[in-house]
Structure 1
Amino acid sequence: MLKYLLLALVPVSLGLHYLEGQPVLVFLTGAAAVAVLADWVRRGTEGLAAHAGPAIGGLLNVSFGSVAELILALFVLASGQVAVVQAQITGSILATTLLGLGLAMLVGGIGREKQEFNPANAGLLSTMLILLMVAMLLPAVFDLTERSTATPGDALITDEQLSLGIAAVLLLLYVANLVYTLVTHRDVFSREEEEGGEGPGWSVAKSLGIMVAGTALVAWEAEAVSDALSATAEQLGLSTVFLGVILLAVVGTAADLFAAVVFAKQDRMGLAFSICIGSAVQVALVLAPLLVIISWFLGHPMNLVFHSPLDLFAIAGAAFIVRAVAGDGRSTWFEGLLLVGVYVMLGLAFFFLGPA
């Protein structure tokens, strides 16, 4: 019943938007509505995947996993707030690897001595995350090296051009990852897929209708949220970067975070781990490169150069923390609390970073 009541946020937020209500209320209700709609899109995708068979179902789940995040970022990008989109990318990685996984371990571990998950799958995902983080941090290292060693104007390639090249490579790796996980090494992931159940039990028509309607409403809400972003930051005395790295990121990943906690509580920690780290991999492998490429067509070119050392430290730190946690294939509630604590500390650092 609650999931139906929460849908009331959609007309409320859109009404406030078109009646030109308080920007803070428009932003908060719109962001909450995006999170609710993202969960419905996820459920619709699972319903359709249950009818499509394992291979196509896996492809659907992977491909539509970040649709709400992508749409929200595109509208913010279209308004010219490139720094906020970069912050959202950082925040999405932190939200899934630290907050989401931490909450899952914390909730799932209460009342249990430990929870176990497939160390082979966890090791594969965490290793992939580290490799992808290196790829994402490369443009920043290149920019720093170029500025410190080269004469201005002598660079053979710009940050934007390098980011485009890296984006193209990442998308090719995404295609290869689909082949690896869905075809050649599907048995590695079969255990987590079996744990996931058969979806909500909807028909194909209902699942597809909810996916289409939910995605359209997410786009509508994303426009309202992006329009109210700057005014909200000004009224609350916050930087737009902080709103991007914390609030927008959590909103975009809310469906995955909720699903991971639910599965962990059911002692399905392997599936919870796959959801959280798989979502972070999706951000690095698909979301970020797509935004780089699409930004050129929107007239607001975005690169993958994270100028703030805090961004670089946060992304790299999250990747190595996940790798350490995944090493033994076991988790406890205290490990989850530690992950959440690290996320809170990073959030405080971004809060006091100052306006951008």
Structure 2
Amino acid sequence: MKKIFYPGLILTFAVSALAHYMHLGGPTTQFGLSALAILFAAGFMGKATESVAHYAGDRMGGFLNATFGNAAELIIAIFLIKEGLFDMVKASLTGSIIGNLLLVLGLSLLAGGIKFKEQRFNALLASHNASLMILGVIALFIPAMFLFEFGENSSKMETLSLVVSALLIIAYVLWLLFSMITHKKELSEQVETQPDHGESPVWSAKISVLFLALSTVMVAFISEWMVGTLESFSTQYGLSELFVGAFLVAIVGNAAEHSAAIMLAYKGKIGAAVEIAVGSSLQIALFVSPVLVFISFFGGNPMDLVFMPVELVAIAVSVFIAKSISQDGSTNWFEGALLLIVYLILGVAFYLI
């Protein structure tokens, strides 16, 4: 695997860079090369975070995987903001949330459920995650509700978006304080189907951190190259910014979580897999989205928190079914299949818009 993976990482990164800087091929070729390169880079990031998790523990490992996995999403979004593609930014954020709750979690439950009849994880943690997901939905619905009252270009809408963003960031910081410090013991007692803490890490702690930083830098470069092709690519194939952002960009940008969560679930570590999938969605809704609002504001081209009705419905539906499935602290392959079916339904709907 390593003999194939590392040359593939280097080769796809080099070819993508060559196509970008030498203007080789059209938008489709450049987009395809960038997407392939970012998949390898995200896989590299996933391996590094898994190695770091060996030293930091499953709970912290899941958090680190979600954080560095979302680094790709954040970096891509920053470059989209620079290009003024706010609709695609919001679509990619929507796609990331529903992708993690439906696709990543669904594939994880399916993969783990095929090997194990039932997998259990911390029900208390699932309950708190569900409450936070509902908070995220409420925070996204409120700006959309007041859009008609304030007007799309109103300074009041800008103020509301900034205030809501600040409060969401505070809520996320409080959650980290609650889950990682004051109630760490209660939320870390996960019941694993097949705990396997005796696995040897791929790299040492220092090398793991170094590779984590290196993979983040690689993702940053590739993200800039890919963003430069998105507008031409979507126009050439008649795809809406909503579909490109919500599905293509989101799937590519979250490749690290996809691979790591599914692999952990198959090994019987469903608690860590759920932490990656659900934790990543929470991080996007409560931290990444608000941070992007502030980045756009200080960059002189403010982006509000008003999402399209179809995006809000997709997020609400995803949160509802994910909450229903995860709240009892146990899962099986059938529940994973249900999540994937909902994801496919939304995918077809987004494609037809």
Same fold? TM cut 0.5: yes
Distance 2:209 2:333 in 1: 38
Question: Which of 20, 23, 30 is residue 17 of structure 1 equivalent to?
Answer: 20
| Deviation sequence 1:227-253 (CA, Å, 0-9, x none) | 100111112221122111001111121
Higher deviation after alignment, 283-292 or 15-24: 15-24
* Deviation, structure 1 residue 41: 2.8
* Deviation, structure 1 residue 47: 3.9
Distance 2:101 2:236 in 1: 30
Find the counterpart in structure 2 of residue 30 from structure 1.
34
Paired AA for residue 167 in structure 2: V
Asked if 2 retains the 8 angstrom alpha-carbon contact of 1:101 and 1:336, the reply is yes
Higher deviation after alignment, 77-86 or 186-195: 186-195
Find the counterpart in structure 2 of residue 173 from structure 1.
171
| Deviation sequence 1:209-239 (CA, Å, 0-9, x none) | 2122222211111111111001111122211
Task: Report the CA distance shift for 1:225/1:199 in structure 2 as closer, same or farther (over 3 A).
Answer: farther
Find the counterpart in structure 2 of residue 184 from structure 1.
182
Find the counterpart in structure 2 of residue 71 from structure 1.
75
Paired AA for residue 255 in structure 2: A
* Deviation, structure 1 residue 315: 0.7
Residue 349 (structure 2) pairs with residue 349 (structure 1): yes
Asked if 1 retains the 8 angstrom alpha-carbon contact of 2:101 and 2:277, the reply is yes
Find the counterpart in structure 1 of residue 87 from structure 2.
83
Asked if 2 retains the 8 angstrom alpha-carbon contact of 1:38 and 1:254, the reply is yes
* Deviation, structure 1 residue 43: 3.4
Paired AA for residue 105 in structure 1: L
Find the counterpart in structure 2 of residue 220 from structure 1.
221
Task: Report the CA distance shift for 1:305/1:27 in structure 2 as closer, same or farther (over 3 A).
Answer: same
5 Å-filtered alignment, 1:1-356, equals 1=2, 2-7=4-9, 8-20=11-23, 21-48=25-52, 60=64, 63-146=67-150, 158-192=156-190, 197=197, 200-306=201-307, 308-353=308-353
Any unmatched runs of 5+ in structure 2? none
* Deviation, structure 1 residue 340: 0.6
| Count of residue pairs brought into register by the alignment | 346
Asked if 2 retains the 8 angstrom alpha-carbon contact of 1:84 and 1:244, the reply is yes
Asked if 2 retains the 8 angstrom alpha-carbon contact of 1:73 and 1:85, the reply is yes
Distance 1:122 1:246 in 2: 26
* Deviation, structure 1 residue 326: 1.4
* Deviation, structure 1 residue 267: 2.2
Distance 1:93 1:54 in 2: 22
| Deviation sequence 1:140-197 (CA, Å, 0-9, x none) | 11214546xxxx99x7x52222111111111112221121111101013323599585
SS at match of 2:254: helix
Paired AA for residue 114 in structure 1: E
Distance 1:128 1:175 in 2: 12
Higher deviation after alignment, 48-57 or 291-300: 48-57
Distance 2:332 2:12 in 1: 36
| Deviation sequence 1:92-151 (CA, Å, 0-9, x none) | 00100011111111122125433222222222212211122211221111214546xxxx
Paired AA for residue 91 in structure 2: A
Identity %: 39
Paired AA for residue 161 in structure 1: T
Distance 1:93 1:274 in 2: 14
Paired AA for residue 162 in structure 1: L
* Deviation, structure 1 residue 273: 1.3
Task: Report the CA distance shift for 1:199/1:71 in structure 2 as closer, same or farther (over 3 A).
Answer: farther
Paired AA for residue 265 in structure 1: Y
* Deviation, structure 1 residue 335: 1.6
RMSD of aligned alpha carbons: 2.6
* Deviation, structure 1 residue 258: 1.3
Paired AA for residue 13 in structure 1: S
Distance 2:97 2:275 in 1: 14
Task: Report the CA distance shift for 1:338/1:47 in structure 2 as closer, same or farther (over 3 A).
Answer: closer
Distance 1:111 1:55 in 2: 22
Task: Report the CA distance shift for 1:50/1:268 in structure 2 as closer, same or farther (over 3 A).
Answer: closer
Higher deviation after alignment, 33-42 or 45-54: 45-54
* Deviation, structure 1 residue 65: 4.3
Distance 1:269 1:55 in 2: 11
Distance 1:313 1:55 in 2: 30
Higher deviation after alignment, 243-252 or 56-65: 56-65
* Deviation, structure 1 residue 40: 2.3
Paired AA for residue 344 in structure 2: V
